[in-house]
């Protein structure tokens, strides 16, 4: 029993350390910008190897244009963004794009199909881009090193959504806090870019499961859906009240149709992680 108490106290201390380090923002990051960019290049090359690209000039041009439009309103960004569209869906519970250090964003085809309009799509893209701007992955890796928590971070790719007791609880708490921070930054960026932030709330409410399908909250890398929605709404309350123009839907619909054509009409919206055949290992 005493050992158990000591273990709990040690875990709490690790958790406090990582959260404190995380809170110190960029100062706590052991990675130089050059090192982070090089790490991102390496991880991105690995992801390219393991995933099926969605080759379409129409879709690529759309995502490049939308991504750059959003990036203009992210003054903290230290890295240029590089967007790739893939048939795989690494975070199939909500179809979040994978955000790697150094600005490499892998957008799953499933997000094009799950978003009801451009504003919802832009909300999820902005959330992923905020992970890069806030340097979440290298901050997590830094905290992991300092707190001797194993470096689950090669996950920049897998870590975003993977869940399970194999990942330290303290690290998962850090991951959930990164998700909430990306949400809160995203609604502010969306508002500056002229996208109605309510769309991100609508998307999360509609698409994210509650409760987590497989694990208790403690073992989930994602914040509880209702917790996310409450935090998003609280941040939006503080934003200036403006009437947002409805985003023109033409280009998004064209890109969405092209994605649907490429992955096949028969793919349901809750399709398995890979919409197309996966490359052999």
Beta carbon nearer to Zn ion, 182 or 199: 182
Question: Is the Cβ of residue 142 or residue 208 nearer to Zn ion in the bound state?
Answer: 208
**130 contacts Zn ion (rule: CB under 5 A):** no
Residue 160 beta carbon to Zn ion: minimum distance, rounded to whole angstroms? 6
Which of 113, 184 has the CB closer to Zn ion? 184
Q: Which of the stretches 51-59, 110-118, 180-188, 268-276 binds Zn ion when contact is defined by CB under 5 A?
A: 180-188
Residues contacting Zn ion: total by CB under 5 A: 2
Taking CB under 5 A as the binding criterion, the range among 59-67, 71-79, 175-183, 271-279 that sits at the site for Zn ion is: 175-183
Closer residue to Zn ion in complex, CB, 204/262: 204
User: Which of 89, 179, 196, 258 is close enough to bind Zn ion by CB under 5 A?
Assistant: 179
3-state secondary structure the chain: CHHHHHHHHHHHHHHHHHHHHHHCHHHHCCCCHHHHHHHHHHHHHHHHHHCCECCCHHHHHHHHHHHHHHHCCCCCCCCCCEEEEECECCCCCCCCCEEEHHHEEEEEHHHHHHCCCHHHHHHHHHHHHHHHHCCHHHHHHHHHHHCCCCCHHHHHCCCCCCCCCCCCHHHHHHHHHHHHHHHHHHHHHHHHHCCCCHHHHHHHHHHCCCCCCCCCHHHCCCCCHHHHHHHHHHHHHCCCCCCCCCCCCHHHHHHHHHHHHHHCCCCCCCCCCECCCCCCC
Binding residues for Zn ion (CB under 5 A): 179, 182
């Amino acid at each position: 029993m005493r050992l158990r108490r000591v273990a709990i106290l040690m875990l709490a201390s690790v958790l406090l350390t990582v959260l404190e380090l995380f809170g110190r923002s960029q100062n706590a990051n052991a990675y130089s910008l050059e090192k982070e960019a090089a790490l991102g290049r390496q991880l991105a090359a690995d992801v390219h190897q393991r995933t099926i690209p969605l080759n379409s000039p129409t879709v690529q041009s759309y995502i490049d244009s939308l991504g750059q439009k959003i990036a203009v309103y992210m003054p903290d960004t230290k890295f240029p963004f590089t967007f790739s569209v893939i048939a795989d869906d690494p975070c199939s519970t909500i179809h979040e794009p994978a955000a790697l250090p150094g600005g490499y964003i892998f957008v799953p085809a499933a997000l094009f199909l799950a978003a009801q309009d451009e504003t919802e799509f832009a909300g999820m893209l902005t959330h992923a881009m905020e992970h890069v701007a806030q340097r979440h992955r290298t901050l997590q890796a830094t905290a992991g090193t300092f707190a001797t928590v194993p470096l689950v971070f090669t996950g920049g790719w897998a870590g975003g959504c993977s869940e399970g007791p194999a990942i330290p609880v303290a690290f998962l708490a850090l991951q959930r806090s990164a998700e909430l921070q990306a949400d809160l930054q995203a609604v502010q960026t969306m508002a500056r870019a002229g996208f109605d932030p309510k769309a991100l709330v609508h998307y999360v409410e509609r698409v994210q499961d509650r409760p987590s399908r497989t694990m208790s909250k403690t073992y989930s890398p994602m914040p509880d859906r209702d917790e996310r929605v409450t935090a998003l709404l609280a941040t939006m309350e503080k934003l200036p009240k403006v009437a947002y123009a409805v985003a023109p839907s033409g280009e998004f619909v064209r890109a969405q149709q092209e994605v649907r054509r490429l992955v096949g009409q028969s793919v349901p919206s809750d399709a398995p992680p890979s919409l197309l055949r996966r490359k052999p290992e």
